[in-house]
Amino acid sequence: MNVVISVDMEGVCGVASWVQVSPPEFGGLVNGTEYQAARTQMTLEAAAAAEGALAAGATGVLINDSHDTMRNLLPELLPRGVRFTTGNDKPLSMVQGVQEEGVGALLFVGYHARAGSVRGPLAHTWNGFIRDVRVNGRSTGEYGLNALVAGHYGVPVVFAAGDDVALTEITAELGEQVVTVPVKEGLSTYAAVHLHPQDARDRIREGAERAVRAAAQATPYTTQWPARTELRFDHQARADQCERVPGVTRVNAETVAWESGDALHLFGMFRMLARVAEVRLNA
């Protein structure tokens, strides 16, 4: 069985500030010191999950860089034999690779809570101006959208590492089949209590191994189709733009909605509308 590891950065051990997850050219410190430390830990946590998956008998591991520009991984820190994907123009974005033949499990590393979460460090969904995403009335985050895409291909989510708020949300939506490893406890949007980085990596390795060993019994995530998705923004001007897209309806000042027959359409519409909504608010 092959596995895919989707690794984000906001949920890794030691991270509690946007400065830490922003490359210097995109708002990080001039010398990039904090970003470099965070990307190193991101890579090492992904490597730990890969080692656990391989120890459980995975025949192939693909690590998908899923943060921001998606050019954060330090390949020389990854275990030999794995493959990795970089670049932010991937058809399936954060879960690129789940469509490949033989993939039997998806693992989340460095995941964070959804937009609007209380005490979730750097909690957000996709960008800074999406306030809520609801699929068939249920509020979800990046984890839920990604799980639906994986489920479209029959691939279950079996593991998640990140902050405790995110993992509570993931368990509530995806079920107890997901082995969770909290690497930090959220105190607020910009504060957390962290494990020692090596302890976090050790726990991730052990948890990933346990999750992959049990993956054959896991169930892919889905919802009722056709599904109604509602997308709420921070400003009505964003909804103004999205309302003009065919198939999209206006719900209220800041919210639009659409229906999808499957997860690929839902995800494609979500990504497109997130881009359409990037409108200047001081025009």
Architecture, CATH, for domain 2-128+140-217: 3-Layer(aba) Sandwich (3.40)
What pLDDT score does 15 carry?
Answer: 97
Strands 255-260 and 249-252: antiparallel
Residues classed as catalytic: 124
Query: Helices (H), strands (E): how many in the chain?
Result: 7, 12
pLDDT grade, residue 283 (50/70/90)? low
Whether 28 has a pLDDT exceeding 60, the answer reads: no
Domains of the chain, residue spans: 2-128+140-217, 227-276
**CA-based nearest residue to 21, from 31, 4, 30, 9:** 9
The whole-number average pLDDT for the span 178-198 is: 98
Helix ranges (DSSP H) in the chain:
18-21, 33-55, 142-152, 164-174, 197-213, 236-243, 263-276
Tell me the pLDDT tens digit for each residue of 267-277. 999 999 999 99
Whether residue 29 has pLDDT greater than 60:
no
> Does residue 30 register a pLDDT over 50?
no
Instruction: Give the confidence band of 248 by pLDDT, cuts at 50, 70, 90.
Output: very high
CA distance 56 to 50: 10
Q: Give the bridge partners for 162, in sequence order.
A: 111, 182
| In the chain, % of residues over pLDDT 70 | 97
> What is the mean predicted confidence (pLDDT) over 41-59?
98
Closest by CA position to 152, among listed 109, 216, 103, 209: 103
Given this model, what pLDDT does residue 280 score?
Answer: 83
Q: Which residues are annotated as a binding site for Zn(2+)?
A: 8, 10, 67, 112, 142
Q: How confident is the model at residue 33 (pLDDT cuts 50, 70, 90)?
A: confident
Quick: pLDDT tens for 120-152: 999 999 999 999 999 999 999 999 999 999 999
pLDDT band at 31 (very low <50, low <70, confident <90, very high): low
Mean pLDDT of 102-118: 98
Assess whether pLDDT exceeds 80 at residue 165.
yes
For residues 117 and 112, give the distance between their C-alpha atoms in angstroms, rounded to a whole number: 10
Q: Please report, in range form, the residues annotated as the binding site.
A: 8, 10, 67, 112, 142
Output helix, strand, coil percentages for the chain, rounded to the nearest 5: 35, 25, 40
Say how far apart CA 247 and CA 249 lie, in whole Å.
7
As a whole-number percent, the residues of the chain with pLDDT over 90 amount to: 93
Between 25-39, 64-78, 221-235, the lowest mean confidence (pLDDT) is in 25-39
* Residue partners of 234: CB distance under 8 A and separation at least 6: 128, 129, 130, 131, 254
Mean pLDDT of 206-215: 98
Summarize the confidence of residues 6-16 as an average pLDDT.
Answer: 98
Residue 226, preceding bond cis, omega within 30 degrees?
A: yes
Give the per-residue pLDDT at 32.
62
Cα(99)–Cα(118) distance, integer angstroms: 34
- In 3D space, the residue among 27, 234, 237 whose CA is nearest the CA of residue 129 turns out to be 234
pTM: 0.96
**pLDDT confidence bin for 26, thresholds 50/70/90:** low
